[in-house]
Chains A and B, each alone.
Chain A
Amino acid sequence: MKQLSIFVFVGAAACYPIFFRDYWLYVAIIGLYYAILSSSWAMLAGQVGIISFAQAAFAAVGAYTSAILVIRLEVPIAVGILAGAGSAAIFGFLIGALTLRMRGPYLALTTLGFSEIFRIFLTAEFELTRGSYGLKVPLLFDGNKVYLYYIGLGLLSIGLLTLMGILNSRVGLFLQAMREDEDGAATRGVNTVYYRLYAFVVTSAFAGLAGGYYAHVVGLVSPRMSLISEMGLILAMGIFGGLESLLGAALGAIILQGLTEYLRVFEEWRLAIFGALVLFTLRYTPEGMLPKIYELANLLWRRSLQMMKSGSN
């Protein structure tokens, strides 16, 4: 059923470029980047119970890895993006190993610390990264938005199907058991150290993949990618869409990215509006908006069936 929802979503999303071009297509492309980040973060936070603030930093790891490899070593962009995913996975492993014995706020603060250290490193290492000026990066397919859109959609689909495949396997059951009670899982045979690292590595790899893609979509990578406000945005997207549903978190990202454009006139106040939206979601629909969207769609479907019936009578 969940896989089916992904296919329906991808099918519908595949039609988007037919109706929207240029500006709104570009907005959707950035939305796809955030959707990969938000869904991979939702996997970690909602399904495994690990609250990490490093997802944006892992995206920056992927983006800079790809940028540096493509610019300095002239590797093909696709190889750069894959290497970005790989280096983010390595960073994920290291952060996971560092925080093995940490839980709750201690773990969250450590990941926040990593994000800040990484951002400062990117700013300070001018020789390598050109500091806050950022690195100019070649564009994928010379910036052809339709191609970029479909590549983004493909990456998101791969991400969602992979993460959902994990959740539906025995590993997914172990991860959910760890979320419920880590000691309980460990004393029933779950190697919690291994699976915690596993979750960190997989979700970081997808963040790195998204970061690499983003670098060659925007054509510029800068330390801003690792800003706390960027992580706040990912967090807001995940919570708004629904932490316990990967597709929900992805949809949340796309909706909020669209909303960002509408709220552009409010400038920095946009984040305050998103904050209020997160508070509202947590207070009234803590399971996120996706179940509400399902309910609404169901209601509309039944109403239209009723109307068709009464019309035929």
Chain B
Amino acid sequence: MLQIVGIAKHFGGLQALSDVTVSFGRGEFVGLIGPNGSGKTTLLNCITGIYRPDAGAIRFGKAELSGLKPHKIFQLGIGRTFQISKVFNRLSVKQNLSIPALTEGRLDREAIDARTRDILVTIRMEHLAETPAESLSGGQKKLLEIGMIMMTDPQFLLLDEPFGGVHPELKKQLEGYLCELHRSGKTIILISHEMPSVFRICERLVVLDRGVLITEGSPDEIRADERVINAYLGGNNEA
């Protein structure tokens, strides 16, 4: 269970997150939505140790995450992808995949090679194994990022705009893969502006606006929530 209690984060005069409290249970598929600048990516950055929150606590099981370094958080079983893919461009697809597994030191070379082959098949990139990641399309880079975190089989997956700039055919493939991961017991927290996809595949939605959690609930509840409609249409939340 990932519990976020009253976290806040500001950058200069901008309050990016204010007193956000939310929990994510094991095996959930949660959509984290909100207009641009609502604090979704900042929240992910706080969970994964890139930012240290100004206030509040982030608990993962018994561990307190705020203050931990990103690599420690990854080792606890929280993997993430980025809005703008952070693959290692000049390394091959295979090398990109091997890095997370090598950091763990749990698997030997042979086991890592076998795992790499499996992931390459799953993300349908067997033929690109030796290709430098910089040659991949935007969509393929998104897939590669998910493949990279799957190398260590983490329990929690935090995915930041995995459908952004992805070809419709590849998007379908990606959606299918995420549902498959969810069925296998993974917890997925998905940030996306692709509303049809989010409403189709997520079980629960959490909505942020201007750094504040405005509501959460099932896709049907969120669809009918006036605060969400206002936030997306630029209306006044207090109105």
Check if A176 sits within 8 Å of B90, measured CB to CB.
yes
User: Restricting to B206-235, which residues have a CB under 8 Å from any CB of A?
Assistant: none
Binds B, one of A11-19, A21-29, A188-196, A246-254: A188-196
Residues of the A chain whose Cβ atoms lie less than 8 Å from the Cβ of B123: none
Binds A, one of B54-62, B69-77, B167-175: B69-77
Closest Cβ–Cβ distance, residue A166 to chain B (whole Å): 14
Residues of the A chain whose Cβ atoms lie less than 8 Å from the Cβ of B103: 174, 188-191
Q: From A180, which residue of chain B is reached at the shortest CB distance?
A: B88
Closest Cβ–Cβ distance, residue B84 to chain A (whole Å): 10
Number of interface residues of A (CB under 8 A): 18
Is the CB of B139 closer than 8 A to any CB of chain A? no
User: Restricting to A184-209, which residues have a CB under 8 Å from any CB of B?
Assistant: 184-193
Closest Cβ–Cβ distance, residue B15 to chain A (whole Å): 23
Residues of the A chain whose Cβ atoms lie less than 8 Å from the Cβ of B70: 183, 186-187, 192
Q: Give A228 to B149 CA distance when docked, in angstroms.
A: 44
Is the CB of B87 closer than 8 A to any CB of chain A? yes
Identify A177's interface contact among B69, B73, B80, B91, CB under 8 A: B91
Q: From B104, which residue of chain A is reached at the shortest CB distance?
A: A189
Is the CB of A170 closer than 8 A to any CB of chain B? yes
Residues of the A chain whose Cβ atoms lie less than 8 Å from the Cβ of B48: 187
Number of interface residues of B (CB under 8 A): 28
Q: Which of A177, A183, A193 has the most CB of B within 10 A?
A: A177
Identify B91's interface contact among A180, A190, A191, CB under 8 A: A180
Closest Cβ–Cβ distance, residue B189 to chain A (whole Å): 14
Is the CB of B3 closer than 8 A to any CB of chain A? no
Residues of the B chain whose Cβ atoms lie less than 8 Å from the Cβ of A173: 91, 95, 98-99, 102
Complex interface bits, A152-196 against B, C-beta within 8 A gives 1, otherwise 0: 000000000000000000100110110011011111111111000
Known contacts A174-B99, A174-B103; is-contact A190 B71 (Cβ 8 Å):
yes
Check if A190 sits within 8 Å of B99, measured CB to CB.
yes
Q: Give A189 to B87 CA distance when docked, in angstroms.
A: 14
Check if A188 sits within 8 Å of B91, measured CB to CB.
no
Is the CB of B82 closer than 8 A to any CB of chain A? yes
Identify B80's interface contact among A185, A187, A192, CB under 8 A: A187
Residues of the B chain whose Cβ atoms lie less than 8 Å from the Cβ of A170: 102
Q: From B133, which residue of chain A is reached at the shortest CB distance?
A: A180
Residues of the A chain whose Cβ atoms lie less than 8 Å from the Cβ of B69: 186, 191, 193
Residues of the B chain whose Cβ atoms lie less than 8 Å from the Cβ of A183: 50, 70, 82, 86
Q: Give A58 to B86 CA distance when docked, in angstroms.
A: 33
Closest Cβ–Cβ distance, residue A49 to chain B (whole Å): 11
Residues of the A chain whose Cβ atoms lie less than 8 Å from the Cβ of B50: 183, 186-187
Is the CB of B16 closer than 8 A to any CB of chain A? no
Is the CB of B100 closer than 8 A to any CB of chain A? yes
Residues of the B chain whose Cβ atoms lie less than 8 Å from the Cβ of A189: 71, 74-75, 99-100, 103-104, 152
Residues of chain B whose beta carbon lies under 8 Å from any beta carbon of chain A = 48-50, 69-71, 73-75, 79-80, 82, 86-91, 95, 98-100, 102-104, 148-149, 152
| 30 A/B residue pairs, CB under 8 Å, sorted by A | A173-B91, A173-B95, A174-B99, A176-B88, A176-B90, A176-B91, A177-B91, A180-B87, A180-B88, A180-B89, A181-B87, A183-B82, A183-B86, A184-B82, A184-B86, A185-B88, A186-B71, A187-B48, A187-B50, A187-B70, A187-B71, A187-B73, A187-B86, A188-B99, A188-B100, A189-B71, A189-B100, A190-B99, A191-B71, A191-B103
